[in-house]
Structure 1
């Protein structure tokens, strides 16, 4: 059994935080599932970018559900405990889904690279089979690396203090409580977390370097604007996702865990999954037009050929 310190010990804040994060969680679930339904039922959005986006939204639903319900329960509970097995499961799914999020964002950057830099071959490169393989690869790598981390951490002996100064079971804080030699597991964790963060980030940076280089070579200002507009939502999501990661985890190992760290991680685990579908809904013209059209005529299925961005649309088998 572990004891979680939770978000706050201030009783006057607990009710406010419970109501606030309950609304955040509800919006997260409704917005992400709504986006999945819109993408799957709208013929105008049957393209690789929205195919990956629907999986990103689905992952965000489970990612948020791994942390937020327990956090909400602890805000209204006198005892903030979690079983050893419950902590291991939370540890495992949190690590797996966070990695899948990162890998899907890098896959979406590859999709944008192909669409802008190789538009004539887009349909032949980004086939339905290839998109499915990329998604399966993201899920396989995410769950595999998390299995290694969780197996290593929870095979150690825990025989002393059991207070985790956090609102969920995070790797560094769990390992600090072990009475075994944690150095091998710490090295495994650092290596895998770094690989899952920096590998996709390098893919994203390389993709956008090539995208920018290709856009600058375009002669038409209108085409440049359309090309940039197809990337704006994705870039916004990447900035929020990695900005929070770097603020939280690029800290000296010896530094004490502070309230600011908790605030950053609340944003990372509870707020960021809510923002992704909202960003794509508000900044992406295709999704925005679909939502407006559906709200005006719920039975309407858009079948307009082409795209607002002028880039190739359908997925080929």
Structure 2
């Protein structure tokens, strides 16, 4: 028991703050060191106000990024997990976190790569993008200086507007608002803003006026095209029990980049946890359970890829 406590304390001790320059103030993150000379992965968060631990005030408290970082440290891989501009410790980086583009996030990613290389002495840094973060990683790696490769986890293999369409259609409870949602998506794809005044409250949040410019920019991005033009190694990992992004997305990314490695994990869901069945309620319950570890095959797959 004592040895376990000592090991746990040692692991906690190597999680230290780290910063990178942002537009108006510092970007903040946590460096989970696995030892001198260890490969380093930058974990790029998913959509909305997702923080460095992978939590989100819109219903995710499963801490998937923190748990992934700790598990990877146990495999000899260091990580930096970050608060994106305008979120958590990076609030001071910009006056308005909603006024952002994918190119802005890519710039922040390169600033992180520079800061991490300076701190660790590593020649390059791996980019792990989860969900929307996959798109950011692919965009950032179009300029590959200092980037070892890209790891896409639960990343879209088509335009994000199409992913949102499928997410909305897959939930029967959304039937009353589907027509309104589809019309809004069509308008945003054309670069046109939408009036949310008479929309259902859930759609008012999804298409809030302050995020529409970002949605318009994001919907213009083409993940397979970005994957096809990569000059660095690409690992694509997708859980088969993910109710937000499908295996078809992962396969589309892999088809665009024949040199990519594709790994499907049968029981992993969108928050990187194991789900024992196809029951939707049980799946979504894991979004609020930080006591569940991340899928061990995910950890093993990532560690093997960056240490090969």
TM-score, normalised by the number of residues in structure 1: 0.28
Greater relative CO (CA pairs within 8 A, separation 6+)? 1
Q: Which has the larger radius of gyration?
A: 1
TM-score, normalised by the number of residues in structure 2: 0.29
Greater strand fraction, Structure 1 or Structure 2 = 2
